[in-house]
Amino acid sequence: MVNVTYDGSGDLTWFDPSTQEIVVYNLGDIAWTLASTALVWIMIPGLGFFYSGLLRRKNALSMIFTSMMAIGVVSFQWFFWGYSLAFSDTASKFIGDLQYFGLKGVLAQPSQGSTRIPALVFCVYQLMFAAITPAIAIGAIAERGRLGPLLVFIFAWSTLVYDPIACWTWNPQGWSFIMGGLDFAGGTPVHISSGTAALAISIYLGKRRGYGTARLAYKPHNTTYVVLGTVLLWFGWFGFNGGSALSANLRAAQACIVTNLAASVGGLTWMFWDYRLERKWSAVGFCSGAIAGLVAITPGSGFVGSPAAVLFGVLAGTLCNFATQLKFVCGYDDTLDIFASHAIGGITGNILTAFFAQSSVAGFDGTTQIVGGWLDHHWVQLGYQVADSVAGLSYSFVMTTLILWIMHYIPGLRLRAPEQAEILGIDDAEMGEFAYDYVGLEQEIGHTLDACDGSPSGAREPEHLNHRESAATTVTVTGDNQEKPAGPS
């Protein structure tokens, strides 16, 4: 039996046999952290819907599926050794050891994150951060990546990239934690690491078929999915940032306020920048900006006041919007602009935290003490934030590239799908399942189907592209390059 009981007020108490002391846990803090765990979990399929909506319909299901794969693989990896590598008490400045291998001994002792909740609660909460990070990164395989090798990649990347960065950022033994780096909810471990990994994956996979031509100048196939994904992400981010207080207190409430404010301003800013080009109000633009604002506020959400959150949103919506052009300047194919939204957004948030972090805001929980940032005349904090950002970006890019090329030379583990699978769609080629009953391929093979017999007009459709179209349906290619079924002939 675990030596826990309840005191007269109903709080959970644990007797520490090593110190002969009684540790008291507030049940409200435990409840808030567990509720935040569920909020962060729902972000992961939300991310899948967000990614899915931005792609062509023949790849829609695979993006939702990869988010669920991340949950499955990382949940096992975290149990196996991930939690121990990130949060063992005897960790080095860079990575932990196997003290908690298989979660052995992770029970009612005070957690590494806070003495207000037991380690078991902290463990499952941090699992969700570990799961969503590779889910963000692997969006870079969109429309051209194999799903089988992805299982191996997620496990290896979580072990070799995420766990060390989480250790040096949040473990009290980590070098960035000791240095004084401020990262409340994952600017470097989650966003910079995943965004940079997405860049490395994009460079490794190369460009999609038809890159640089009108073939890829398509609009998102399902804007409703984009909005739905944003809603789930925004909703879950209250647990992502607010839950990182690990207690139901004023600091958690403040984190929720600045999170919502930065997302709102970021969405408006991105939308206004897009409006200047097309004179159209873009739902995708607002959603993209909201995500950028959420990313930027993440590292500073427990350290900055509400006025600063407005600037976080404005700069994130602006810088991330313009950063989407980097792929054209540098010549890489980042299908979903993950590097622009997450890496650039994370760096923006880290730098702004150096300017606007305040000891008074951090002290909203009644216990946390920090020196603060430039508002508190702590000038060296900018150097700490830059060092942490550069270290996370460099380490993630190099290690991700190494993992990809090692897998490249192992039979069966190459991540790049063949061209035939790319034409057919990853849903059909890799899964044999579809997001919709109807998936048109005419924009890929350059013709329409005859309404009478279902055969191509002009040239015969290859056998492997015969795709369940009804003989009574004509497929047309509209001006926005989206396949849409016409009425019966």
Report if residue 241 sits inside a domain.
yes
Report if residue 185 sits inside a domain.
yes
**Whole-number Å distance between alpha carbons of 453 and 450:** 6
Phi, psi at 109, each rounded to 5°: -70, 155
Residue 268 CA: distances (Å) to CA of 179, 275, 312, 456: 36, 10, 12, 45
Identify whether residues 186 and 143 lie together within a single domain.
Answer: yes
Which of 408, 429, 462 is where one domain is finished? Answer: 408
Instruction: Please state the domain count of the chain.
Output: 2
Task: Tell me the residue range of the domain where 65 lies.
Answer: 27-408
Predicted local confidence at residue 174, as pLDDT: 96
Report if residue 420 sits inside a domain.
no
Report if residue 429 sits inside a domain.
no
Predicted local confidence at residue 442, as pLDDT: 61
Predicted local confidence at residue 457, as pLDDT: 38
**Whole-number Å distance between alpha carbons of 324 and 15:** 54
Which of 359, 387, 408 is where one domain is finished? Answer: 408
What is the domain-level CATH number for residue 153? 1.10.3430.10
∠ Cα 212 217 223 (to 5°): 145
Identify whether residues 453 and 401 lie together within a single domain.
Answer: no
Give buried/exposed letters for 375-398 (b at 16+ CB in 10 A, else e): beebeebbebbeebbebbbebbbe
Identify whether residues 330 and 232 lie together within a single domain.
Answer: yes
Identify whether residues 401 and 461 lie together within a single domain.
Answer: no
Identify whether residues 402 and 489 lie together within a single domain.
Answer: no
Identify whether residues 109 and 214 lie together within a single domain.
Answer: yes
Identify whether residues 173 and 243 lie together within a single domain.
Answer: yes
Identify whether residues 402 and 462 lie together within a single domain.
Answer: no
Which of 357, 391, 408 is where one domain is finished? Answer: 408
Q: What angle in degrees, to the nearest 10, is found between the helix axes of 193-205 and 344-356?
A: 160
Identify whether residues 353 and 486 lie together within a single domain.
Answer: no
Report if residue 117 sits inside a domain.
yes
Phi, psi at 121, each rounded to 5°: -70, -45
Give per-10-residue mean pLDDT for the chain (489 aa): 84 88 93 98 97 94 96 98 96 96 94 92 97 97 94 98 97 96 96 97 93 83 96 98 96 98 98 92 96 97 96 97 94 94 97 97 93 95 97 98 97 94 91 81 51 40 39 36 38
Give 363's contacts (C-beta < 8 A, 6+ positions apart).
Answer: 369
What does pTM read for this prediction?
Answer: 0.89
Identify whether residues 364 and 453 lie together within a single domain.
Answer: no
Report if residue 2 sits inside a domain.
no
